[in-house]
Amino acid sequence: MTVRDRIFDLMKKQRITQRQMAKAIGISEQSISGWKLEGDKEIKSYMNFLPQIAEVLGVPVSVLVQDCDPEADPLDGLRFALYGDPAKDVTEEDLQDVKDFAAYVRQRRKEKK
């Protein structure tokens, strides 16, 4: 199952419309409709919105970018997010950057409340 298919599958299961998703992540409904038309090998515009999409769907980004196989490497989702290729190595520096960014995002959310 592709990332796109997983997004639309979860939207369907949760009865989230394209209009609702578009409003929640701040893009046009036409953009979401366009995601269905994008080829698997083309640059996927929805990849820029994975964190917001995951939040709306109530799942971690890793659920969207990899199969939920208990044997799967938990860093595959991170590798995909960083490089678009799970085969690439994620360095300690990459991991620290991600942790720092996550801390920054959590802090901003706290400040908004």
pTM of the model: 0.55
Whether residue 7 is predicted with pLDDT greater than 50 in this model: the reply is yes
Note whether 48 and 73 are same-domain residues.
no
Note whether 60 and 9 are same-domain residues.
yes
Instruction: Tell me how crowded residue 95 is: count the other CB atoms within 10 A of its CB.
Output: 13
How many Cα atoms within 13 Å fall on the side-chain side of residue 42? 10
**The pLDDT of residue 38:** 63
Give the model's confidence band at 42: pLDDT under 50 very low, under 70 low, under 90 confident, else very high: very low
Note whether 5 and 60 are same-domain residues.
yes
pLDDT cut 90: percent of the chain above it: 18
Note whether 73 and 93 are same-domain residues.
yes
Q: Residue 108 is part of which domain span?
A: 69-113
Q: Per this entry, what is the length of the chain? A: 113
